[in-house]
Amino acid sequence: MGVLEDKANARLFYKYLSTVYDEVNSFIWTAEMRREALGLLSLERDDRVLDVGCGTGFGTEGLLDHVDTVHGLDQSVHQMERAWEKFGKHGRVRFYRGDAERLPFRDDTFDIAWSSGSIEYWPDPVAGLAELRRVTRPGGQVLVVGPNYPSRRVLQELADAVMLFYDEDEADRMFREAGFTAFRHLTHGPRYSPDIAITTVAEVTE
Ligand SMILES: C[S@@+](CC[C@H](N)C(=O)[O-])C[C@H]1O[C@@H](n2cnc3c(N)ncnc32)[C@H](O)[C@@H]1O
């Protein structure tokens, strides 16, 4: 397990990274990638949408182009403080401080659950995925963006030491174990690394 797949370590990491997150992040997780991920969803303006690990709100901002309100949850108050600066604390985004693996919502609360760039920090990603499924209504969709497993061996060792990176086979296993039966993956990325991310969209069937 990588050093950042520990909730306390991840919180400490984001206490410092939050100050420069938006600048650094834009090289790895681009507006074009976000557009591609959003294109996998069927969104209606009045959908109830959850963004797990919303951070400073990059994914949230994309979702707000399509829906009126987003519910954003993150375990790092430092990351959410940056998001409050953008969206206000009580505007179109409702914020929750919480844990992806124990979501504070009833079953079937949302039409869409989205999580971009957060699963790699969850110590038990299958538990987190099962939570996304639980809080999404049957017929709804769950979308997760995570880091694709690098193909070069030297990078694999580094990746494994830091956090979760996964390929399509591993994504298949995790989504199945979390109870999903219908899902597909897209690998994408910026021009300099076109398969840096793996995005999975899953239908909630029951
Ligand atoms: C790389 S940032 C992604 C932020 C945003 N979703 C985006 O698209 O830019 C990862 C975020 O996941 C949050 N996070 C990590 N582990 C979490 C957990 N167990 N529960 C909730 N949030 C978590 C971090 O605090 C951080 O804000």
Distance CA 57, CA 13 (A): 17
Q: Identify the residues whose C-beta falls under 6 Å from ligand 1.
A: 7, 10, 14, 25, 29, 53-55, 58-59, 74-76, 79, 99-101, 116-118, 121-122
Closest CA to 116 of 194, 49, 44: 49
H/E element, 201? strand 197-203
Distance CA 171, CA 124 (A): 13
Distance CA 88, CA 4 (A): 29
CATH 2.40.170.20 fits 7-203, yes or no: no
Closest CA to 64 of 75, 54, 74: 54
Q: How far is the CA of 61 from the centre of ligand 1 (A)?
A: 15
Residue 206 is predicted with a pLDDT of 74
pLDDT tens-place values along the chain, 206 residues long: 899 999 999 999 999 899 999 999 889 999 999 999 999 999 999 999 999 999 999 999 999 999 999 999 999 999 999 999 999 999 999 999 999 999 999 999 999 999 999 999 999 999 999 999 999 999 999 999 999 999 888 899 989 999 999 999 999 999 999 999 999 999 999 999 999 999 999 999 97
44 alpha carbon, distance to own chain's centre: 20
Residue 154 is predicted with a pLDDT of 87
Q: Give how far Cα 134 sits from Cα of 92, 111, 164, 179, Å.
A: 24, 11, 22, 9
What is the chain's Cα-based Rg? 16
The answer to whether the pTM exceeds 0.75 is yes
Tell me the best of 18, 23, 49, 75 to mutate to test the pocket of ligand 1, counting ligand atoms within 8 Å of each CB and taking the most: 75
Residue 66 is predicted with a pLDDT of 98
Tell me the best of 49, 64, 74, 78 to mutate to test the pocket of ligand 1, counting ligand atoms within 8 Å of each CB and taking the most: 74
Q: Give how far Cα 17 sits from Cα of 11, 41, 204, Å.
A: 10, 29, 34
Beta strands at 110-116 and 136-147: parallel, antiparallel or unpaired: parallel
H/E element, 193? none
